[in-house]
Amino acid sequence: MPTLVMKFGGTSVANLDRIRRAAKRIGVEVAKGYDVIVIVSAMSGKTNEMVGWVNETSPLYDAREYDAVVSSGENVTAGLMALTLQEMDVPARSWQGWQVPLLTTSAHSQARIEEIPTKNINEKFAEGMKVAVVAGFQGISPEGRITTLGRGGSDTTAVAFAAAFEADRCDIYTDVDGVYTTDPRICDKARKLDKISFEEMLELASLGAKVLQTRSVELAMRYKVKLRVLSSFEEQSDEAGTLVCDEEEIMESNVVAGVAYSRDEAKMTLLSVADRPGIAATIFNALSDGGVNVDMIVQNISEEGRTDMTFSCPTDQVARAEKSLLAIKDAGELNYAELIADTDVAKVSVVGIGMRSQSGVAAKMFKVLSDEGINIKVITTSEIKISVLIDRKYMELAVQALHDAFELDKAA
Amino acid sequence: MPTLVMKFGGTSVANLDRIRRAAKRIGVEVAKGYDVIVIVSAMSGKTNEMVGWVNETSPLYDAREYDAVVSSGENVTAGLMALTLQEMDVPARSWQGWQVPLLTTSAHSQARIEEIPTKNINEKFAEGMKVAVVAGFQGISPEGRITTLGRGGSDTTAVAFAAAFEADRCDIYTDVDGVYTTDPRICDKARKLDKISFEEMLELASLGAKVLQTRSVELAMRYKVKLRVLSSFEEQSDEAGTLVCDEEEIMESNVVAGVAYSRDEAKMTLLSVADRPGIAATIFNALSDGGVNVDMIVQNISEEGRTDMTFSCPTDQVARAEKSLLAIKDAGELNYAELIADTDVAKVSVVGIGMRSQSGVAAKMFKVLSDEGINIKVITTSEIKISVLIDRKYMELAVQALHDAFELDKAA
């Protein structure tokens, strides 16, 4: 029997009505002859509520207990979904992570999936079960304790199941109807893409287009899982939503696939750092140990043995970054004149696999921003992406101007 | 190391403040040198919320999915309690039913405990864990699915753990400070008992004094578990609350230990039933099959081969009883003239092991009620209990008059 994985996020199972709506959609796929594995998130708001309780109880919490608490929301949805399907005469049962079992590392609250044995679920499919409803986001460690996969981890659960069960497709039902050329909330010309490559989706996801957890896209790329993003709030056909797939499956595409942005960026500059070998390692090791996720890094030209070092990180990690750097300064490991934090910046990026074969994209991007009078503070590039830091007040303007300039409102 | 079991009900862990309060109480026992097993309920209201969702989703639900859903509240409390204890530097971890494992029958939603292997938890005690926080109410079936023990099942979990780990005592923390001679809400002379026998507690529990789940008292009696009921809202000493124990441990006691009542009773009378062998079996089998919990049964003297049959059941089961009896009448298995349902009755009972050795308790009870002008509709007796059905409007008067007459406001 062909297998399909369908994942429903928190807003798609927010209440009993929405669970019924999702169940109907599942019924359609069962009627087509699929054995279906459904991955469910917690009802929207539930996980946040529990994370709040844990943080209030214990700011430096034991991650094993955090996982035991915050994984419970998915169990509720899984049971309710199984009951709803049974009411529609679809043979279904719920599975918690430890029942599958979904085996993970012991890295609690950010565990990685090690293996998904298919035996238990396949036995039930053989007995006539048509839908296995699996609680997303959770697994079990080698020590027999509950683990979770990090926020958004249900996407990763879904892709991992699709890989393990060699599913025809992994459909991610969410509150948007696909992947857009940019955020429709800030650019009304944003256009839904029918297809996007794994590589582009990875860059867009990591750049703040929060449709899919980054890890789920990596996993789908590695195991060649056909990933589809579509809305649980609309009637769906087989061609709905956006298919995330190998670039070979995309015949024609624009040079630039999308414009992404990230609002909560901070630009940190260390003035007058001694420019000697190993100094960058000292700085970024300290930041990493302090839990700071450094994104862009720029080093200015050295003058008289001293240089300025600039990096960006999320706004809410500025205090941690300052603390980490002050600590190594006090310890005599680093010398700098001043640390300047600019928390009024945003990151805007253009992404597209077409850049590999077509030059001039960066030049065009810089000209567009310049024509709008927007000053570029930091630039980084990868093979398929160009990102700039700019003043936050220009962010929406920059996104709209770039979307226009690269004609993203028109299909290739 | 001596072991203590402490159980905290839903109101005792209703929010983070109350969980902290309970954790402090646990810390006191740890400081005395106990290894402590803590059994927690769901935060008050959570289980009801989930039961509501299940019922709305599927009126005739799959009990396996019901259990998977409604057991999740306890997992949240167990994790939060472990974190709270850790914050107080008390080494603690949470245990879900399947992790212990608490092995039960497959009778979902009303499973019975088969065994509690002590190995896993004892290993952690040996490694220095001081408190095992166990999610109450839940276990695991031989098929590896989650089971629950029925409403109030956390009491039973607690007593079973006390038996398995040979605990010195099982303390049940609740929102009342002990077992009273009657309900203080309807009789202001009600007095807290320092000790009560298992037998008396069983009768009081089954008569609607909802301090402890009946099964937990049965289990405590069988395994000689010292059971203490006390308030989580007051500072506690070792002598606080009410000790439920063997009657041998109670030196002196009143003839009557308490007066119990049950408001939601209905009296059902079948008029003019053919009085032939097997007719009672026919009637009560049908009621049992229909899910009616029959309590008292009275058969009048037979006249001319016909008799009246009276029984009582909870008010909310009257419709079911009527349906069941009509079905066997229609099937020709039973003939009766009329079925009269009186839903305006209540049950009042006096309970006491002293009755075994002292006669005249029934006579005194009937005289007290008669003096108050209260008509008795049905009477049943056991070795240590006398129950009567009366008009509901006299219920509080009856309880107060009996409490006075048997001088329950005075200690023995």
Statement to judge: residues A171 and A24 lie in one domain? yes
Q: Which of residues 61-80 of A touch B (CB under 8 A)?
A: 61-62, 64-66, 68-69, 71-73, 75-76, 78-80
Residue B335 inside a domain? The answer is yes
| Chain B residues touching residue A80 (CB < 8 angstroms) | 53-54, 57, 65, 69
Out of A53, A80, A82, closest to residue B80 by CB: A53
Residue B84, chain A, CB below 8 Å: the answer is yes
What digits encode the pLDDT tens for the residues A289-332? 888 889 898 887 777 888 889 999 999 899 999 999 999 999 98
For residues A85 and A236, give the distance between their C-alpha atoms in angstroms, rounded to a whole number: 19
pLDDT of residue A240: 84
| Chain A residues touching residue B61 (CB < 8 angstroms) | 83
For residue B199, the SS3 value is: helix
Residue A410 inside a domain? The answer is no
Which range of residues forms the domain containing residue A128?
3-175
Residue A207 has pLDDT above 70, yes or no: no
Mean pLDDT score of chain A: 92
Domain ends where: B146, B175, B204?
A: B175
A372 Cβ contact partners less than 8 Å away, ≥ 6 residues apart = A394, A397, A398, A401
Alpha carbon of B326: minimum distance to chain A alpha carbons (Å): 29
Which candidate, B255, B293, B295, places its Cα nearest to that of B387? B295
The number of domains in chain B is: 2
What digits encode the pLDDT tens for the residues B216-238? 999 999 999 999 999 888 776 76
Edge-to-edge strand list for the sheet holding B258-274: B297-299, B306-314, B258-274, B338-351, B385-391, B378-382
Q: Which of B61, B76, B77, B137 to mutate to test the interface with A (most CBs of A within 10 A)?
A: B76
CB contact under 8 A, B65 and A82: yes
Residue B91, chain A, CB below 8 Å: the answer is no
For residues B330 and B337, give the distance between their C-alpha atoms in angstroms, rounded to a whole number: 13
Statement to judge: residues B274 and B171 lie in one domain? no
Most confident range, picked from A350-364, B115-129, B294-308, B311-325: B115-129
Question: Domain containing B13 — which CATH number?
Answer: 3.40.1160.10
Statement to judge: residues B171 and B263 lie in one domain? no
Which candidate, A281, A284, A304, A301, places its Cα nearest to that of A292? A284
A396 Cβ contact partners less than 8 Å away, ≥ 6 residues apart = A186, A187
What digits encode the pLDDT tens for the residues A254-273? 789 999 998 889 999 999 99
Place of tokens 């002379």: B189
Residue B232 inside a domain? The answer is no
Statement to judge: residues B12 and B136 lie in one domain? yes
What was the ipTM of the complex prediction?
Answer: 0.81
Across residues A112-135, what is the average pLDDT?
A: 97
Statement to judge: residues B116 and B263 lie in one domain? no
Mean pLDDT score of chain B: 92
Residue A204 inside a domain? The answer is no
What digits encode the pLDDT tens for the residues A372-406? 999 999 898 888 999 999 999 999 999 999 999 99
Question: What are the helix (H) ranges across B190-334?
Answer: 198-206, 214-223, 279-289, 318-330
Across residues B355-362, what is the average pLDDT?
A: 85
Most confident range, picked from B169-173, B295-299, B381-385: B169-173
Residue A126 inside a domain? The answer is yes
Listed as own residue / partner, the contacts of A332-336 with beta carbons closer than 8 Å and 24 or more positions apart are: A333/A282, A333/A286, A334/A273, A334/A279, A334/A282, A334/A283, A334/A286, A335/A273, A335/A274, A336/A270, A336/A271, A336/A272, A336/A273
For residue A306, the SS3 value is: strand
Helix pair angle (B361-371, B395-405), 10° resolution: 130
Domain ends where: B175, B204, B235?
A: B175
The tokens of A48 are what? 């946040």
What digits encode the pLDDT tens for the residues B86-144? 999 999 999 999 999 999 999 999 999 999 999 999 999 999 999 999 999 999 999 99
Statement to judge: residues B44 and B149 lie in one domain? yes
pLDDT of residue B356: 84
Give yes or no for a contact between A346 and A263, defined as CB atoms under 8 angstroms apart. yes
Q: Tell me the pLDDT band of B208, cut-offs 50, 70 and 90.
A: low
Residue A247 inside a domain? The answer is no
The tokens of A10 are what? 């928190």
Statement to judge: residues A23 and A164 lie in one domain? yes
Q: Which of A17, A46, A58, A72 to mutate to test the interface with B (most CBs of B within 10 A)?
A: A72
Q: Decide which of B96 and B277 is more confident.
A: B96
CB contact under 8 A, A83 and B62: yes
Give yes or no for a contact between B259 and B182, defined as CB atoms under 8 angstroms apart. yes
Residue A166 inside a domain? The answer is yes
B410 CB neighbour count, 10 Å cutoff: 10
The tokens of B193 are what? 């008992």
Statement to judge: residues B18 and B131 lie in one domain? yes
| Chain A residues touching residue B99 (CB < 8 angstroms) | 144-145
pLDDT of residue B220: 95
pLDDT of residue A208: 59
Quote the percentage of chain B above a pLDDT of 90: 73
Residue A51, chain B, CB below 8 Å: the answer is no
pLDDT of residue A199: 92
Residue A206 has pLDDT above 70, yes or no: no
Residue of B nearest to A78 (CA): B69
Statement to judge: residues B171 and B68 lie in one domain? yes
The tokens of B338 are what? 């009329």
Question: Domain containing B281 — which CATH number?
Answer: 3.30.2130.10
Residue B181 inside a domain? The answer is no
Residue A289, chain B, CB below 8 Å: the answer is no
Count of residues for chain A? 412
A316 CB neighbour count, 10 Å cutoff: 10
Least confident of A114-118, A355-359, B164-168: A355-359
For residues A189 and A194, give the distance between their C-alpha atoms in angstroms, rounded to a whole number: 16
Statement to judge: residues A171 and A271 lie in one domain? no
What digits encode the pLDDT tens for the residues A144-191? 999 999 888 999 999 999 999 999 999 999 888 889 999 888 999 999
Domain ends where: B131, B147, B175?
A: B175
pLDDT of residue B238: 66
For residues B400 and B188, give the distance between their C-alpha atoms in angstroms, rounded to a whole number: 9
